[in-house]
Amino acid sequence: MREIRLLLRKDLWILINNLKLILRNPLRLIPYAVLVGYFTFIYSQRVGRNKSENLGLEGMDVDGIPTPNFAWQNIVGGITILALGFLVFQLYRATKNNVSFFKMADVNLLFPAPVKPENLLLYYMARSIIPSLGGAILFVIYGGSQLTNQFELTVGNAVFLILGFALFIFMIFPIRFLIYTLHTKYGVMDYIRGGVIGLGITLGLLILIPGLQADKFWQGMSTWIVSPWFDLFPLVGWSRGIIGYASHGNLLLACGYLGLYGLAYFTVVKLVIRFAGYYYEDVLEATKTNEDKLEKVKNKQSVDEGSYSLNAKKQLALPDFGVGAKALYWRNYIHASRQDFHPLFGVYSMSMAAIGIVFAGLSNFDWFSHKVLYGYLLFMLFFYFMAGIGRANIGDLKKPFFILIPATWTSKFWNMIKLDVVQTMLFASVLIVPSVFLAHVSIFLIPLFLLGILVCYLIGFAINLIPQVGLDEGWDRKLVKPFMIGGIFFFGVIPPVILSVIVFLITRQFVWTMLTGVLGLSIVAAILLHVTMDVLKRIEFKEV
C-alpha cells in the first residue's frame, strides 16, 4: 500500500503543477468557458419545453393495445449495434498489438525503480478510468443538452448515464491487455483471433437474419437487440442496463449491472496479475508507439506510410521486378502487401464495397430508397478525391531516389500511381457492377462510376501536387497555395458540380447527373494532369 500511496502522491503533484500552469496563463481557460457557455445556452433554450411521456419501446394504438415504438426501438437498436461493433473491433485489435497504460516517463523512471510490477499495473489500470469518466461526462452533458425535452436529467440519472458509458470504455482496455498477456505466455493468439471473428460473424447473422425476415429491415434487425434479456450481454448489455435507469428508474436493477461490472473487473485483474508476470517488455512497444503518435500530433508531423498497416511484419518473397521506373510500382506493391492482407483486394476497400452492395440489395426490396445507394456512390467519389490529396503527401515523392531513377518523367509518374489506379478500378468494379444489377438501376452507371472515381482521384492528386512542386519558396506555399487551390475549386471543380445539380433538378435522373458531373470533371482532370507533368520535372529542386 505504501507504493500505491506514493504513486497517488506523484499524480497529485502533477495535477497541482498543471493547475499552476493554467493560473499563469488564464487564456487556456477560454475553450472551457466556451464549452460551458454552449451547454448553458442549450439547456436554457430547452428547459421550458414539454417533456415526452413515452420513452418506452411500446405505445398504444386506438384500441388501447400495446404496439411497438419503432422509432425509439430503432434508436436503441442502432446505438447497441454500434457498441457491439466497437467491442468486436477492439477485441480484434487486441490480437494485433498490445495496449499500454503507461507513458515513456513511466518507462524511464518507474520501471527501473524498486517497485513491484503488480502494484504498478494495478494502480495504472485503475487510474485509466479517469479519462473514461471525463469523456463520459462530456458526452452525457452534450447528449443531455439535446434530450432535455425527452427526460429529466437529475443527479441520479446523470450519475448512472456517466457510469454506463465510462465503464464500457474502461473495461475494454484491461480485457485487451489480458488477451495479449495470454498470447505472450501461451501463444494462443490464433485461437483468440478465431473466437473474435466467430463472435463478429455470429452477431452479424443475429442482426441480419431477423432484418431480412421482417417487412422492414430496420425494424427486424433491432427486434432481439432491444429485448430486455439482451441487457445480460457482457459489457454492451450491462452498460445499457445501467443507462436505462434514466427511463425505468429501477435502482436495484441498475446496481445489479454495476455489480456485474465490478465482478468482471475483479476477475480480469486477478487473471492479469496471475499471467502477466514481468510485463515490462510487452508494453514497451505499445508505449513507444503511443508516444510517437502524440508527438506527431503535437508537432504536426506528416503521417508516414506505415500508418494503419494491418500486416506490417509480413515477410515477402518476390521475384526480380526489373529496373527503371518499374521499381516504383513494385515498391508500392510491397508496401500495399504489408499495409493490408492483399495488395489489390484489401480489407478496407472490400468492406466499403460490401456496404454499397448491401445498400443496393436492400433498396431492391424497398427497405432502402435508391437515394441511399446514390448518396453512397457520391460519398465514394469524394472519399477517393480526398485519397488523391493525401497521396501527394507521402510515398515516392518524399524519397530522394525518385529523381535518380533513369527513366522519363512520364514513366515515373505513371508507375508511381499505377497501383493506386489498379486498386481504385478493382474496388469500383466490385462495388458498382453487383450494385447496378441488384438495385435494377441504369447500366450506364457502371462506366460512369468507374471513370468518375478515377477522375476524382487524379484531380485530388494534382490539386495538392501542383502547388507543392510549382511554388518556389516556403512562404509562397503558405500564402499562395490556398489561393491556388481555391481557384482550382472555384473555377474547375465547383462549376461541374453545380451543373450536375441543375441537371438533376430538371431530369430527376441520377444517371444524367453522373454523366454531366463526370464529363465536366474529366476536362478539369485532363488540364490538371497536363500542368502536373510540366511541374513534375522541377521536383529535383524542391523539398516536397
pLDDT, one tens digit per residue, over 465-501 is 777 666 655 555 566 667 777 777 888 888 888 999 8
Q: Which of 32-41, 302-311, 508-517 has the lowest mean pLDDT?
A: 302-311
- Looking at this protein, which amino acid is placed at residue 239? S
Residue reference for cell 476477475: 267
Phi-psi region of 234 (alpha: psi -120 to 50; beta: other; left: phi over 0): beta
pLDDT, one tens digit per residue, over 335-383 is 777 666 677 777 778 888 888 888 887 776 655 677 888 888 999 999 8
CA distance 145 to 43: 6
Structural contact between residues 455 and 514, judged by C-beta atoms closer than 8 angstroms? no
Is the pTM higher than 0.85? The answer reads no
Structural contact between residues 195 and 189, judged by C-beta atoms closer than 8 angstroms? no
Q: Is the dihedral of CA 515, 517, 522, 523 positive or negative?
A: positive
With cut-offs at 50, 70 and 90, classify the pLDDT of residue 451: very high
**Alpha-helical runs (H) found in 222-325:** 236-243, 245-248, 251-276, 280-299
With cut-offs at 50, 70 and 90, classify the pLDDT of residue 142: low
Phi-psi region of 152 (alpha: psi -120 to 50; beta: other; left: phi over 0): beta
pLDDT for residue 440: 84
CA distance 405 to 472: 23
Residue among 435, 431, 490, 492 nearest 458 (CA): 492
Question: Is the pLDDT score of 38 beyond 80?
Answer: no
- Average pLDDT over every residue of 104-131: 81
- Measured in Å, how far apart are the chain's first and last C-alpha atoms? 55
b/e burial code for range 385-415 (CB count within 10 A of at least 16 → b): bebbbebbebbbbeeeebeebebeeeebbeb
Residue reference for cell 513491484: 116
Phi-psi region of 320 (alpha: psi -120 to 50; beta: other; left: phi over 0): beta
Question: Is the pLDDT score of 450 beyond 90?
Answer: yes
Beta-strand relationship, 66-68 and 58-60: antiparallel
> Beta-strand (E) ranges in 391-475?
none
Give the other-Cβ count within 10 Å of 514's Cβ.
25
pLDDT for residue 223: 73
- Looking at this protein, which amino acid is placed at residue 432? I
Cα of 518 vs its chain's centroid, Å? 29
pLDDT for residue 478: 60
CA distance 289 to 296: 11
Residue reference for cell 519558396: 473
pLDDT for residue 449: 92
CA distance 388 to 316: 27
pLDDT for residue 260: 92
- Return the H-helix or E-strand segment holding 120: helix 117-127
Whole-number Cα distances in Å, 99 to 94, 179, 288, 291: 7, 10, 11, 12
Whole-number Cα distances in Å, 117 to 125, 265, 278, 280: 12, 19, 7, 8
Residue reference for cell 477522375: 455
More confident residue, 231 or 77: 231
**Alpha-helical runs (H) found in 25-116:** 30-46, 70-94, 104-109
Residue reference for cell 506514493: 6
Burial class of residue 542, CB neighbours in 10 A (0-12, 13-18, 19+): middle
**Alpha-helical runs (H) found in 95-154:** 104-109, 117-127, 129-146
b/e burial code for range 315-327 (CB count within 10 A of at least 16 → b): eeeeeeeeeebeb
pLDDT, one tens digit per residue, over 275-297 is 776 677 777 777 877 777 666 65
Question: Is the pLDDT score of 525 beyond 80?
Answer: yes
pLDDT, one tens digit per residue, over 179-236 is 878 877 777 788 888 888 898 888 888 877 777 776 666 666 777 777 788 888 889 8
Query: What's 29's DSSP letter?
Result: G
Cα of 462 vs its chain's centroid, Å? 26
CA distance 246 to 264: 23
**Rg of the chain on CA atoms, in Å:** 28
Give the other-Cβ count within 10 Å of 221's Cβ.
23
Q: Hey, is 481 helix, strand or coil?
A: helix
